[in-house]
Amino acid sequence: MVDDPTHRILAPTVAARFDQGRYYRAKIGYVLLATEQTVQDDVMRLRPDGVGMHFSRAPIPDSITNATLAAQVEYLAPCAASLLPDGSLDVIYYACTSGSLVIGEQRVHDELNKGAPGARATSLISGVIRAIKEVGARKIVVATPYLDEINAREVVYLEQAGIEVLSISGLNLEKDSDMVRVAPDFIAEFALSVDRSDADAIFVSCGALRTLDVIDEIENRAGKPVIASNQAMIWDTLRHAEIDDQFHGFGTLFSRY
């Protein structure tokens, strides 16, 4: 005879007691590229206590071109929907600089909100533009790992947002798996090599680059603000979530604004 275990199941004698949970300050969702190997670590490095960081990944081959980035649009809504389906996300973010400018901010935000309608939707290019303007920069130089076809799109996008791009220089890398291996000390030298005396700030574009590791070094040597994709992204998501924590060692943007 098979023993029936149900007779050993007892009704609870007390009701569960709840608190606000581990992430009582805010919950932020990030949609990453499937190839991403830098963004998630950078986000967790600057995660304040009480703030939840949640991640999903959108399919893409190991090839970063205008065409592969444009194809990301169909994955944004389902990726957003996969994050905290209880609707408790405060902010939903597309964590790709080039992808968000190729698709366009408004389309990105609309797609993210299809999947997470209760969250504030934004994107990495939105965060970059906001950060550049926050530090008071009007004229910038840009260093990227991208192909020239993406660089050309980036110049147009930034200038349409009211930011003058004095010059842009790219490494013409196509594979994300190469971008993540660009050495931080080289990133610093590359950023400084594109600087000009008439530039208000240096922008190092791309979340795959480990610019966060050397951003203070670049600022100290250049004597001006440096905006890096992941720095701007984390700052932007926190400020959208009404988290005003400041961090030192990661550029003027985080220590002053």
CB 144 within 8 A of CB 206: yes
| pLDDT for residue 1 is more than 80 | no
d(CA 97, CA 198): 25
What was the pLDDT predicted at 6?
A: 79
For the range 105-113, what are the long-range contacts, defined as Cβ-Cβ under 8 Å and sequence gap of 24 or more? 107/73, 108/73, 108/76, 111/73, 111/76, 111/77, 111/80, 112/31, 112/76, 112/77, 112/80, 113/80
pLDDT digits (tens, 9 = 90+) for 77-127: 999 999 999 999 999 999 999 999 999 999 999 999 999 999 999 999 999
Domains annotated on the chain, with CATH: 26-124+233-246 (3.40.50.12500), 127-231 (3.40.50.12500)
| pLDDT for residue 10 is more than 90 | no
Mean of per-residue pLDDT scores for the chain: 96
What is this structure's pTM?
0.94
What was the pLDDT predicted at 2?
A: 63
CB 204 within 8 A of CB 227: yes
In the 8-state DSSP scheme, what is residue 82? T
Q: Report percent pLDDT > 90 for the chain.
A: 95
What was the pLDDT predicted at 38?
A: 98
| pLDDT for residue 210 is more than 70 | yes
For the range 165-168, what are the long-range contacts, defined as Cβ-Cβ under 8 Å and sequence gap of 24 or more? 165/140, 165/141, 166/139, 166/140, 166/141, 166/196, 166/198, 166/199, 167/141, 167/142, 167/194, 167/196, 168/141, 168/142, 168/143, 168/144, 168/194
What was the pLDDT predicted at 167?
A: 98
| pLDDT for residue 248 is more than 60 | yes
d(CA 71, CA 79): 14
pLDDT digits (tens, 9 = 90+) for 183-205: 999 999 999 999 999 999 999 99
pLDDT digits (tens, 9 = 90+) for 102-111: 999 999 999 9
Residue 64 sits at φ, ψ, to 5 deg, of -105, 100
Q: How many helices (H) and strands (E) does the chain have?
A: 12, 8
